[in-house]
Amino acid sequence: MDIKRIAGPAVALILAVGIVAAVIVSHNRKSSDDAARATAASVVELRGMIGSEKESFFADARVAEILLARGFRIKVEKVGSREIASRDLKGYDFGFPAGAPAAIALQNKARARQVYATFFTPMAVASWRQLVPVLEKEGLVKQLEGAYYLSDMKRLLEMSQKGVRWRDLPGNTVYSTGKSILISSTDVRKSNSAAMYLALASYVANDSNVVDNKEQVGRLMPFLTPLFLRQGLQESSSAGPFEDYTTMGMGKAPMVMIYESQFLEYQSKRAQPNPDMVLLYPQPTIYTKHILVPFTENGRRLGELLASDPELQKLATRYGYRTSSPEHFAAFLKDQKLSAPMNIVEVIDPPSFEIIERMIQSVEQQFQ
């Protein structure tokens, strides 16, 4: 047998197969590269300003993955919710403040035709379990169905306005300090959570009526303004006072006005929820809506997605937010062994945009 005659065609066949394989691999690689380039080309990068309370939501890898699959890569900058409207909007695609008043101010500046309500959370007061019996004895707090409520907000505000101190409370041995009884908040000039506190306090001081005219504003502001002036240094972002609460404890922050979502998110991320921390729900309270205001068409598409995508809405509840699907919020509480009232009955509306702005400006004048 002539080995050379057999080997020649065999080598040629092997070479041919190798060439074909190389061509196929090269083609597949090119197709894969083309697909990757096409995918990358279809992804748009958006820049936005957000309230600090939503930073962890956007940092979530699951949220980023869903947004990327929908064609978005998001870069966010933390800014006080009310402060966003005072910024230069050029180069940004959206603003995402907390609270309807802040969103209205931003919508007016951006001349946005449409805004997108995504999720919401009630205002609450972060406090300490050791203080609950003291506050209960004063008739300021009551427990109902496993939740604690600030049942006499008017009296609490009156005590704050008059400068009553913690050591003045009869039988108070757990926190007998010279500190005034005040609810700490953010800077009302820059932050929505403080603006919501002002809205809530104004309703209580106005005999349980929403403030609706400038005469009422003029009558109430001498009572309301000291609630903010007497706090001392206030931060522009809701993350600031809440961080004081979680890190410095009762000595620094006995009562802090926060978003319920901040408290629930913090507790859910611990190995075990801190049993000393307690949330007090004002009666009445007020909801903060998280509203995206688009500046560009891509910003509009993002707002529509965040407001309607079931996966993103469900993930929002993992950060303590409430959505139009309460079953997801209930599942979050059960999974994390947390408790919160599912139905909050006494909820008020804030004053009109013009009225709340008039009240904030009145406080601002006293800071100067």
Whichever domain contains 95, its CATH number is 3.40.190.290
3-state secondary structure of 148: strand
116 torsion bin: left (phi>0), alpha (psi -120 to 50), beta (else) = beta
pLDDT at 32 over 50: no
When mean pLDDT is compared across 107-111, 237-241, 325-329, the lowest value belongs to 237-241
Distance of CA 255 to the CA centre of its chain: 19
For residue 150, is it within any domain? yes
Which one-letter amino acid corresponds to residue 367? Answer: F
β pairing state of 256-259 and 116-128: antiparallel
**CB-neighbour burial class of residue 235 (10 A; exposed 0-12, middle 13-18, buried 19+):** buried
Q: In 3D, which of 185, 193, 187 has the Cα closest to residue 102?
A: 193
pLDDT at 93 over 90: yes
Range of the domain at 184: 44-367
For residue 360, is it within any domain? yes
Band of pLDDT at residue 39, cut at 50, 70 and 90: very low
Q: In 3D, which of 205, 197, 202 has the Cα closest to residue 257?
A: 197
For residue 135, is it within any domain? yes
β pairing state of 347-348 and 285-294: parallel
Per the model's pLDDT, the better-predicted residue between 30 and 107 turns out to be 107
Q: Tell me the two tokens of residue 291.
A: 């509203």
**Residue 239: per-residue pLDDT:** 81
Distance of CA 251 to the CA centre of its chain: 25
**Residue 2: per-residue pLDDT:** 55
Residues 294-323: tens digit of each pLDDT: 999 999 999 999 999 999 999 999 999 999
Q: Tell me the two tokens of residue 107.
A: 């919508």
Q: Provide the whole-model pTM.
A: 0.85
3-state secondary structure of 46: strand
The residue-averaged pLDDT of 49-54 equals 92
**Residue 26: per-residue pLDDT:** 55
pLDDT at 18 over 90: no
3-state secondary structure of 82: coil
Question: DSSP string of 159-178?
Answer: HHHHT-BGGGSTT--SS--S
**Residue 81: per-residue pLDDT:** 87
Band of pLDDT at residue 234, cut at 50, 70 and 90: confident
267 vs 144: CA distance, rounded Å: 21
When mean pLDDT is compared across 14-18, 116-120, 145-149, 172-176, the lowest value belongs to 14-18
**Which of the 8 DSSP states describes residue 142?**
E
Length of the chain: 368
The H-assigned helical ranges of the chain are 3-42, 55-59, 61-69, 100-110, 132-137, 153-162, 192-205, 214-224, 226-229, 239-248, 260-268, 297-308, 310-317, 326-336, 353-367
224 vs 141: CA distance, rounded Å: 21
For residue 217, is it within any domain? yes
Q: At 49, give phi and psi (nearest 5°).
A: -105, 130
Residues 250-279: tens digit of each pLDDT: 988 899 999 999 999 999 999 999 999 999
For residue 313, is it within any domain? yes
For residue 68, is it within any domain? yes
**Residue 31: per-residue pLDDT:** 46
Number of domains in the chain: 1
**Residue 65: per-residue pLDDT:** 97
Q: At 266, give phi and psi (nearest 5°).
A: -60, -50
**Residue 345: per-residue pLDDT:** 86
pLDDT at 118 over 70: yes
For residue 6, is it within any domain? no
For residue 269, is it within any domain? yes
pLDDT at 226 over 90: yes
Q: Tell me the two tokens of residue 204.
A: 């209580």
207 vs 220: CA distance, rounded Å: 11
